Structure 1
Amino acid sequence: MNKVATINIPEEILFSLRESETEIAYEMKLYSAMHYYYHKKLSIGQAALLAEMPEETFIHYLSDNKISIFEHYDRDELLKDIANA
């Protein structure tokens, strides 16, 4: 079950960014997913779910943003994730 979170964004921010509310909301989800993964609050799978993209795509997104998935794993964690993939 999904929950809805509401964020108030001042109109001048929307105007400055020249993006729709939908585009900004999507980017916020992407950045939140990346942030929570980086700070080890979400797994790759959970973060990909938040970002609404397949895990492989999310891993590429992390790489594009200079976040390595290998810095966050010890050997056992990595092997467990590979086994569960």
Structure 2
Amino acid sequence: MRTITIELPNTIDLSQKEVTTALAAQLYDLGKLSLGQAADLAGYPKSTFTELLSQYKVSIFNYPTDDLKNDLENARGYYRGQ
């Protein structure tokens, strides 16, 4: 694992755990990390991290809209073909 050092102003009252969790949530939201990877980075079990995502306004359903639309069209086509 790689270490990155970030200097924050003294006026920001965040613990290292809070910063790491926020970063993990953002990376998950961007699709850079899987749910398990993000939970590991934040230092939480998946179930706990899943609950914390709402605090960062991140949905657990990290599924691109275009993929969902394609899946729905494929399902409609399959259903019509039956």
Shorter-chain-normalised TM-score: which range? 0.5 to 0.7
| Residue 64 (1) aligns with residue 55 (2) | yes
| Residue 4 (1) aligns with residue 6 (2) | no
Structure ID, larger Rg: 2
Q: Normalising by structure 1, what TM-score?
A: 0.62
User: How far off is 1:71 after superposition?
Assistant: 4.2
Structure 2 counterpart of 1:30? 21
Q: Normalising by structure 2, what TM-score?
A: 0.64
In structure 2, the gaps of 5 or more residues are 69-82
More helix by share: 1
Classify the secondary structure of the residue corresponding to 2:37: helix
How is 1:74-85 mapped onto 2 (pairs within 5 angstroms)?
A: none
User: How far off is 1:66 after superposition?
Assistant: 2.5
Percent of aligned positions that are identical = 36
